[in-house]
Amino acid sequence: MTRRLRAILLELWLPVLGIALWWVLSDDSTSPFFPPLRRIVEAFRDNWLFARIDTDLVPSLTRFVEGFLIATVVGVLLGLALGLWPLARRALAPSIDFLRSIPAPALISVMILLIGFGDGMKVAAIALASTFPILLNTIDGVRGVEPQQLDMARVYKLGYWHRITRIVLPAASPQIFAGMRVALAVALLVMAFSEMFAGTNGLGFFIVFAQETYRIPDMWAGIVMLGIVGYAVNLCFLAFERRILRWHRGWRATAQER
Amino acid sequence: MQSVHALEVRALSKTYGTGDRAVRAIDDLTFEVEPGEFLCIVGPSGCGKTTLLKCLSGLLRPTSGAAYLEGTLIERSPDGLALVFQEYSRSLLPWMTVGANVRLPLLGRRVRRSERRSRAAEALDAVGLTGFEDKHPWQLSGGMQQRVAIARALAYQPHLLLMDEPFASVDAQTRADLEDLVLDVHERFGITVVFVTHDIDESVYLADRIVVLTHRPTTVEEIVTVSLPRPRDQIATKELPEFMEIRGRVIRLIKGETGESDEGDDIPAGVVAAHEEVPE
């Protein structure tokens, strides 16, 4: 129990200290840009408990989840194809490298022209930008499958489907998950940015709109909310990853012992 | 049908690469394995034993010559052939439980789920691993992992079991236990076994006949018949004067071989081109 308490203290000391300092130092602030934390907390309560959950938080999260799921499916399937098929990889690698070098926000302006200002554009922008880390990691993971495991599959005459689902995908899964973790951050960024750029609701829109109308405490409350969302999404993903990759941690731990 | 060999290797040769960089790994191998026989293959290190097994299991295409499994030309991985690799840690799948690993070869066949389970249970029982189905391979010792690999091969119910230095990376006591396990399995299921090893004692202890290979480019130096009585015993069999005599003979055959050739052992890296592998 004391060990658990120590672990929690070790993780929380900095956030607690930071918030305490912020609270004390900003308490008598008269600057319109840096309002006292007290007022930001009030603004947070007024907006996020729970008035704007339906109108702004849920739409943001929906776009984020849709975009991220599309990116995962496209990234893994395309990565599988390119990882298994060297000719396709050589044919497409330069184009992929070019596309992924364009900063995601720049793509949003093109998306607006092509798809318009709606939800579809935002989901597409999130999906496009976060596909690349998943795609590249999947290709690497698929290419790194232990050759002896593939030999084994051939000797035992496993079909293509079983080779993919029982050997290639599980073997590549640690790298796929690493790519998804990066993609998660990209998806959040593009979500917020697309809403700031062309939104009528959502977290990004809320922050920009508050700023433009000089509701500075609201703006800060939005930023805090965005941080909480990002942190929570990461925690959920890590819990999911821990479940799926439990074998990988065990296997690596024993491999290091030897 | 009496005359069909379990395995027949006819003038098989394998050259890696072409032109100046060509390396002749196997030069004209011919031998037969009879049904139910336990055949060991020994030879100096780097003599292309693994190349031979890859040709026999259909993973590599011979440059010339051929191998026949029960009279059928081996082109791709043939039916009824199982292979136990040297490195269990690389051929077992760490993301699957022991049970799933053993059931894996049955996925490629039309075997019902319930039968997959019962065959896997039987195979695990044969190697003494009942009760470990739900563990992962990396939770077991090296010797137990190789038992899992053997159980996986048994669940496939092969006619011919190829083993590529399967006990090279376990300690001596485990090795003796695994040797007896393989003898037991061979006896019980009547499987034909081709067992590659660099350990001469092991080959004499296990085999009905020993194929002694020459240095690269490899041919058959001699085929030694081992007429030691079965069942064999780690102590009694190895104390027989005949055991010592055969052992000495095989050692002299191999030593004479390595003495006269100073060529490098290993095939240079990069010579094995991907296109030489048998395509899917």
B88/A contact by beta carbon, under 8 A: no
Q: B258 pLDDT exceeds 60?
A: no
- Helix A119-143, helix A58-84: angle, nearest 10: 30
- Which residue in the set B82, B93, B136 is minimally distant from A155, CB to CB? B82
In chain A, the residue whose alpha carbon lies closest to the alpha carbon of B162 is A155
ipTM for the predicted complex: 0.87
Alpha-carbon distances of B8 from A73, A157, B62, B160, rounded to whole Å: 48, 21, 14, 12
The answer to whether residue B130 scores a pLDDT higher than 60 is: yes
Nearest CB to A146; choose among B83, B90, B107: B90
Contact B105/A at CB under 8 A: yes
Instruction: Indicate the CATH number for domain A38-244.
Output: 1.10.3720.10
| pLDDT, tens digit, 9 for 90 and up, residues A52-62 | 999 999 999 99
- Helices A203-212/A216-244 angle, 10° precision: 160
Where are the domains positioned within chain A?
38-244
Query: DSSP label at B158?
Result: -
* Four-point Cα dihedral B182, B83, B263, B31, nearest 10: 80
Helix intervals (H) in chain B: 49-56, 88-91, 98-103, 113-126, 142-155, 172-189, 200-206, 236-239, 241-260
pTM > 0.90: yes or no? no
Report the alpha-carbon distance of residue A107 to residue B176 in Å, rounded.
Answer: 65
Which of these, B235, B253, B213, lies nearest to B48 by C-alpha position?
Answer: B213
B156 lies within 8 A of chain A by CB: yes
Q: At A130, is the secondary structure helix, strand, or coil?
A: helix
Contact residues on chain B for A256, CB-CB shorter than 8 A: none
Nearest to B108 among A151, A162, A173 (CB): A162
Residue matched to tokens 């003494």: B128
Mean pLDDT score, A217-234? 95
Query: Distance (Å, rounded) from C-alpha A218 to C-alpha A211?
Result: 8
Least confident of B82-91, B191-200, B245-254: B82-91
Give B46-105 pLDDT, tens digit per residue: 788 889 999 999 999 999 999 999 999 999 889 999 999 988 888 899 999 999 999 999
A16-53 tens-digit pLDDT: 999 999 999 999 999 989 999 999 999 999 999 988 99
For A86, name the nearest residue in chain B, comparing CA atoms only.
B274
E strand or H helix at B40, and its extent? strand B38-42
